[in-house]
Amino acid sequence: MLCSIALFYLNPFVLNTLFKVLILLFGLVVAAYFFIKSAQGDRFLYFVKETRIELRKVVWPSREETVKTTGMVMIAVIVVAIFLWIVDAFFTWGVKSISLLF
């Protein structure tokens, strides 16, 4: 892997781009192979397997439920934005009124 990185960065004039990419990909494949064969790789594969099992158990909402929920969220965001705009306008008016006094 280190040789691949060294050739990739230290010898830009001799190697063409395709060859550099192939060397880098080969190094990544070798690194992935050693990772998968390690204890951490075993834990990672176990985690991925368990995650896929859990994803099969999830009850996904229907399209209708998703559209309704999205609409409610959009309305709530608009209402809160208008409320904050009014509060900001009130505070702006208050600060301007106070600053005119001094």
DSSP letter string, 13-74: TTS-HHHHHHHHHHHHHHHHHHHHHSHHHHHHHHHHHHHHHHHHH--PPPHHHHHHHHHHHH
pLDDT of residue 25: 92
Q: State the virtual CA torsion across 74, 78, 84, 89 in degrees, nearest 10.
A: 160
Domain boundaries, the chain: 1-58, 61-102
Measured distance CA(88)–CA(91) in Å, rounded: 5
In this prediction, residue 81 carries a pLDDT of 98
Provide the residue-wise pLDDT of the chain in tens; the chain has 102 residues.
Answer: 676 666 666 665 556 777 778 888 999 999 999 999 999 999 999 999 999 999 999 999 999 999 999 999 999 999 999 999 999 999 999 999 999 887
- Please report the pLDDT score of residue 31 as a whole number: 92
* Contact indicator for 15, 7 with CB cutoff of 8 Å: yes
pLDDT at 7: 66
